[in-house]
Amino acid sequence: MLSTVKVRCHFCRKPFLTKKAYFVFNKEVGYHSFCSKECGYNHRKTGKWLICGNPNCEKKIYRNLAGISPFNYCSKSCAAIVNNQKYPKHPPRYCAYSGCKNMVKRVGSPFCSIKCGKLSKFKYTKEEIVTLIKEHVAKTNRVPPKREVPEISHKAIHLFGSWNNALTIAGLIPNRSHNNRMYKRLNGKAADGHLCDSVSEILIDNWLHKNKVKHSRNVPYPKTNHVADWAVNNDKVFVEYFGLANDSPRYDRTIKEKKLLCRNNRIKLIEIYPKDLYPKNLLDKRLFPVLK
């Protein structure tokens, strides 16, 4: 049985037992004796323990002597935090749009978003928008829908929350909204006294009256409960304003039924859509070739 000898660890200086043959061999070749692999590994370390250069981190890190620099960090994120504070790529900037207080993060743009860039083109204030709405009402003698005045309606929606809110603040009664227009109708009078269900129908009725086209309102379709908006030429031509086309499945089904009824009964149908009225009134182009 090999004899043992008591020696001290060269690193931690704790005494421990080792085989005498190992001790003699190490002494002859100039090796040191260690109590564990960990002490042997730590003895071979030539670096230093440092503290992370990020003042908010304070983690301890080990660096070899060759790897020690004036600035030492435990991770890339800590290095980025410190370097971004020391050397900011772009100074902090506020959005160039007066109605926004966000910081600009996009490079090469004075606005924080594309939306603010578009809104900056409309330089009206709340008071100016209310004034423009009142001027338009005084000129046309009716409440304008938002698609009729896109140059101010977009900014009005941004400042007031909705176009109807802007109209209310201006002291006007809003037109039908998307939520109630299929169930509630707000009547208005055309120039000839006919009752109409919307501003758009008033525009069409006024065109017929102005151009001396004899017309009747709410004329029933043959053998059905459907009603045409207008009938001209002794009820041989129906004029319909399809204001909610592609907006309601029920409404679209009604449009198809009316078209089929006109074909079956040999009634000419003139279809008017919102694009024929807004933003530019195209009734002359749509109605003159047929009715004149």
Antiparallel, parallel or unpaired: β 268-272 and 15-19:
unpaired
Rounded Cα distance between 65 and 99, Å, is 56
More confident residue, 88 or 128: 128
In sequence order, the 6+-apart residues with CB closer than 8 A to the CB of 3 are 19, 20
The b/e string for 219-247 (b: 16+ C-beta within 10 A; e otherwise) is eebeeeeeebbbbbeeeebbbbbbbbeee
Place of tokens 């009603």: 227
pLDDT in tens, 146-178: 777 777 787 788 788 888 888 888 888 776 544
Q: Which of 24-28, 80-84, 108-112, 252-256 has maximum average pLDDT?
A: 252-256
Place of tokens 């809104």: 119
Lowest mean pLDDT among 64-78, 104-118, 179-193: 179-193
Whole-model pTM: value is 0.44
Lowest mean pLDDT among 113-117, 181-185, 277-281, 282-286: 181-185
In sequence order, the 6+-apart residues with CB closer than 8 A to the CB of 84 are none
pLDDT of residue 264: 92
For residue 40, which of 17, 16, 11 has the smallest C-alpha distance?
11
